[in-house]
């Protein structure tokens, strides 16, 4: 869908008008096509997960009852109540129909529990952690990559590259436990797990605790929410930072060796400014990677969430898969697929903002 | 004749590579006067680009100017350091390059790139903006094109923008490193016409680095022929072309195809030497049809054979 614009410069109208027309005409069409493409993506993923769930051994009824010593009639009754006795094709379309009407159904495990409510509660937690983790990884990765490129082939460069490689290989639960041990148990600086102190009262508006506590001016809640997110965000961010180090380093080195940097020097532009220009060029590929990473994180940073008992989509999914809670799992997958589509669309738009060569 | 705007004296530049010292430029000397176009002619690897970079004290590592002086408008560029050197680049001596597709920053508007040059040299913003418009017009582009991104321009337009950025501060010397090699012939002519015009109207001296001796013969006022890091012949264009003295210059001129002649162009036999181990004596002697014993032993000094016409060859030198 992305194409490199090779149009020659033609004079037709004022630059502002032309720029705007470029942006709107192309952009609208592009966004429309990309948005439309989200539909088949979601459908395919839903179909796949529907099939896989039914192929997997075990079913919600047995998972809940935990035993097979039940009169068959009662078993049939429960299955009937859950709609599991209907043909697969009917189950497939019924659920799809409900989702289209904004209803993700009710849990098969906790009867009457609305999955939509669950998701609305869990998603903000995951998004909050994803954003924080991404910010930390970008902060660490981009700054180390920048420094490594500037100090190229020195001990600093070598050290930072080793750091990037080592952190990338760390196992999240281990790192999380170490952080908990050091900062929560020994130093007692930060809480070990959870999202907020249970005794802090916070009126939720958006479900994002940090945002909500700012909106309601609740300093205690803000402090509590922030202190809870530091360790999981640091764990996640540290492990995810390695690729950014490499990406930024190699791209910045490539940019600094490019002809336009040499030309900048020849025209007497300050080195610090040249470095900034090269840095901007080097950051373009980073946006793509960060976008992909963020989309993945929205699916729930399962390991981080379980390590820190973070009530997000990741822990939710693990729990629901354990119980074969069909509609809940399907709902998570559908929402995830939708988010991946939206995020990659946003990434493409940011890309176009950074790189004038990309136009849609 | 008035004072030269550019004096290069005994310039020697080596690249200190892991595989040995590359003697890229050795004892090069030349002069350029106001409004001159000095063509630096030579094959790839003859050191002509390195010489060009030295004029801005911009030899890329691992290269280093070992000795010599480069004086532009009375200032020794090679003695400048830090911010003084940065300010000299662009305002005293500037440069344009072979590949206009890669020498402009792809993500910034070309006008902003020209503007930056002016601002970085202390021109106030309002004045700088006016100067951008002026200089963009001066290189034959419309004012609006300053708002374009490099990828929206053609090769010729981009090279014009590069020229505009290089001459925005009216430097005394402009080094043009193969400015037309990446362009097609029609655009080539337009760009050369533009450079001619700039030198005539502003008096800027242009150092034209080229492998194309025919182009040099057509456009330059002086020609310096380089071989294996040394300037072997130097003089006013007419003298060098009509009365080439050095065997290399002669061979170079005979290697140019001429459609009006029934004769085939004559290639020069052999290969240019490896500059990590340059030949003893005159560096051209292994390929020279007229080589004598002395050529292997000692490098000939520059001799002024006729007024302003210098050559470095034992045929003309007296020991």
3-state secondary structure B31-100: EECCCCEEEEECCCCCCHHHHHHHCCCCCCCCEEEEEEEEEECCEEHHHCCHHHHHHHHHHCEEEECCCC
Contact B88 A268 (CB under 8 A): yes
Nearest to B30 by CA among B173, B163, B170: B173
Helix (H) or strand (E) holding A101: none
Contact A277 B147 (CB under 8 A): no
pLDDT band for position A3 (cuts 50, 70, 90): very low
State the pLDDT at residue B118: 95
Contact A263 B103 (CB under 8 A): yes
Residue A2 in this model has a pLDDT that exceeds 50: no
The alpha carbon of B136 is separated from its chain's Cα centroid by a whole number of angstroms, namely 23
Q: Where are the strands (E) in chain B, listed by range? A: 6-17, 20-32, 37-41, 63-72, 75-76, 93-96, 173-177, 205-210, 222-227, 230-236, 303-306, 309-311
Q: What are phi and psi of B40, to 5 degrees?
A: -105, 105
Q: Could you report the per-residue pLDDT of B260-296, keeping only the tens digit for each?
A: 878 888 888 888 888 888 888 899 988 888 888 888 8
Q: How far apart are CA A233 and CA A256, in angstroms?
A: 32
The b/e string for B91-103 (b: 16+ C-beta within 10 A; e otherwise) is bbbbbbbbbbbbb
pLDDT band for position A300 (cuts 50, 70, 90): low
Interface predicted TM-score of the whole assembly (ipTM), two decimals = 0.91
Q: Cα-atom radius of gyration of chain A, to the nearest Å?
A: 25
Task: Tell me the whole-structure pTM to 2 decimals.
Answer: 0.84
Measured between CA atoms, the residue of chain B closest to residue A10 is B152
State the pLDDT at residue A18: 63
- Three-class DSSP category at A211: helix
Q: Could you report the per-residue pLDDT of A246-262, keeping only the tens digit for each?
A: 999 999 999 999 999 99
**What DSSP character marks residue B166?**
H
Q: Any residues with CB less than 8 A from the CB of A115 and at least 6 apart, and which?
A: A104, A105, A106, A107, A327, A328, A331
Mutation for A interface: B58, B86, B105, B161, most A CBs within 10 A: B105
Cβ(A196)–Cβ(A227) below 8 Å? no
| Sign of the C-alpha dihedral computed for residues A246, A247, A249 and A254 taken in this order | positive
State the pLDDT at residue A1: 43
Helix (H) or strand (E) holding A106: none
- Among the ranges given (A12-26, B62-76, B177-191), the one the predictor scored with the smallest mean pLDDT: A12-26
Percent of chain B with pLDDT over 90: 67
User: Torsion angle of alpha carbons B188, B192, B193, B194, nearest 10°?
Assistant: 110
Q: Is A64 exposed, middle or buried (0-12, 13-18, 19+ CB in 10 A)?
A: middle
**Chain A contact set for B89 (CB, 8 A):** 265-268
State the pLDDT at residue B318: 66
Q: What is the mean pLDDT of chain A?
A: 87
**B interface residues, A as partner, C-beta within 8 Å:** 56, 58, 60, 86-91, 94-95, 97, 99, 102-109, 116-117, 120-121, 142, 144-145, 147-149, 151-154, 157, 162, 165-166, 169
- Among the ranges given (A113-127, A294-308, B56-70), the one the predictor scored with the smallest mean pLDDT: A294-308
Q: Could you report the per-residue pLDDT of B195-221, keeping only the tens digit for each?
A: 999 999 999 999 999 999 989 999 999
**Chain B contact set for A277 (CB, 8 A):** 105, 108
The CA–CA distances, whole Å, from B291 to B43, B274, B318 equal: 20, 19, 15
Residue A339 in this model has a pLDDT that exceeds 90: no
How many C-beta atoms lie closer than 10 Å to residue B10's C-beta? Answer: 12
Nearest to A158 by CA among A48, A266, A249: A249
Mutation for A interface: B95, B135, B151, B172, most A CBs within 10 A: B151
Q: What is the mean pLDDT of chain B?
A: 91
Q: What is the average pLDDT across B301-314?
A: 90
The CA–CA distances, whole Å, from A212 to A124, A230, B156 equal: 11, 17, 57
Q: Is B60 exposed, middle or buried (0-12, 13-18, 19+ CB in 10 A)?
A: exposed
Measured between CA atoms, the residue of chain A closest to residue B108 is A356
Percent of chain B with pLDDT over 70: 99
**What DSSP character marks residue B308?**
T
Q: How far apart are CA B75 and CA B54, in angstroms?
A: 14
Q: What are phi and psi of A134, to 5 degrees?
A: -65, -45
């Amino acid at each position: 869908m992305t194409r490199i614009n090779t149009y020659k410069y033609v004079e037709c109208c004022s630059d502002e008008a032309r720029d705007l027309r470029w942006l709107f005409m192309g952009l609208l069409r592009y966004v429309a096509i990309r948005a439309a493409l989200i539909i088949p993506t979601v459908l395919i993923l839903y179909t796949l997960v529907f099939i896989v769930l039914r192929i997997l051994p075990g079913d919600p009824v047995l998972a809940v009852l935990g035993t097979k010593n039940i009169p068959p009639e009662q078993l049939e009754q429960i299955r009937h109540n859950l709609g599991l006795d209907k043909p697969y094709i009917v189950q497939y379309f019924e659920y799809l129909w409900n989702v289209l009407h904004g209803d993700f159904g009710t849990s098969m495990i906790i009867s009457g529990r609305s999955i939509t409510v669950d998701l609305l509660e869990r998603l903000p937690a995951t998004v909050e952690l994803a954003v924080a983790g991404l910010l930390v990884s970008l902060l660490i990765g981009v700054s180390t990559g920048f420094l490594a490129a500037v100090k190229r082939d020195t001990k600093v460069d070598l050290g930072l590259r080793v750091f990037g490689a080592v952190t990338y290989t760390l196992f999240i639960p281990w790192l999380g436990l170490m952080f908990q041990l050091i900062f929560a148990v020994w130093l007692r600086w930060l809480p070990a797990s959870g999202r907020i102190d249970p005794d802090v009262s916070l009126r939720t508006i958006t479900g994002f605790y940090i945002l909500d506590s700012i909106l309601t001016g609740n300093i205690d809640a803000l402090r509590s929410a922030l202190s809870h997110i530091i360790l999981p965000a640091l764990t996640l961010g540290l492990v995810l930072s390695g690729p950014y180090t490499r990406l930024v380093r190699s791209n910045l080195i490539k940019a600094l060796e490019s002809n336009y940097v040499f030309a900048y020097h020849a025209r007497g532009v300050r080195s610090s400014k040249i470095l900034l220009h090269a840095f901007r060029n080097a950051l373009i590929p980073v946006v793509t990677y960060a976008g992909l990473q963020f989309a993945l994180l929205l699916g729930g940073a399962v390991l981080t969430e379980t390590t820190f008992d973070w009530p997000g989509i990741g822990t939710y999914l693990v729990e629901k898969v354990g119980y074969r809670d069909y509609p809940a799992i399907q709902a998570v997958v559908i929402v995830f697929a939708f988010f991946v589509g939206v995020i990659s669309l946003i990434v493409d738009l940011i890309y176009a903002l950074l790189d004038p060569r990309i136009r849609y | 004749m008035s004072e030269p705007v550019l004096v290069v004296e005994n310039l020697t530049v080596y690249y200190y590579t892991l595989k040995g010292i590359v003697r890229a430029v050795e004892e090069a000397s030349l002069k350029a006067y106001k409004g001159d176009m000095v063509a630096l002619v030579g094959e790839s690897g003859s050191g002509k680009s390195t010489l060009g970079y030295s004029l801005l004290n911009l030899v890329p590592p691992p290269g280093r100017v070992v000795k010599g002086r480069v004086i532009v408008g009375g200032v020794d560029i090679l003695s400048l350091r830090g911010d003084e050197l940065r300010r000299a680049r662009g305002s005293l001596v500037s440069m344009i390059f072979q590949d206009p597709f890669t020498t402009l920053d792809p993500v910034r508007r070309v006008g902003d790139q020209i503007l930056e040059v002016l601002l970085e040299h202390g021109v106030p913003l309002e004045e700088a903006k006016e100067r951008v418009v002026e200089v963009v017009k001066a290189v034959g582009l419309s004012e609006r094109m300053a708002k374009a991104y490099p990828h929206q321009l053609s090769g010729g337009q981009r090279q014009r923008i590069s020229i505009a950025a290089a001459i925005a501060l009216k430097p005394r010397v402009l080094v043009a490193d193969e400015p037309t090699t990446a362009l097609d012939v029609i655009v080539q002519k337009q760009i050369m016409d533009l450079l001619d015009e700039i030198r005539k109207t502003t008096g800027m001296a242009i150092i034209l680095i080229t492998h194309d001796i025919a182009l040099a013969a057509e456009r330059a006022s002086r020609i310096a022929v380089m071989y294996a890091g040394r300037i072997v012949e130097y003089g006013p264009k007419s003298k060098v072309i009509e009365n080439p003295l050095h065997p290399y210059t002669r061979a170079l001129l005979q290697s140019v195809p001429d459609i009006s002649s029934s004769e085939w162009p004559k290639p020069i036999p052999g290969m240019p030497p490896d500059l990590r181990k340059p030949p003893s004596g005159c560096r051209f002697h292994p390929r020279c049809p007229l080589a004598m014993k002395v050529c292997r032993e000692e490098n000939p000094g520059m001799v002024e054979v006729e007024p302003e016409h210098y050559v470095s060859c034992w045929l003309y030198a007296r020991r």
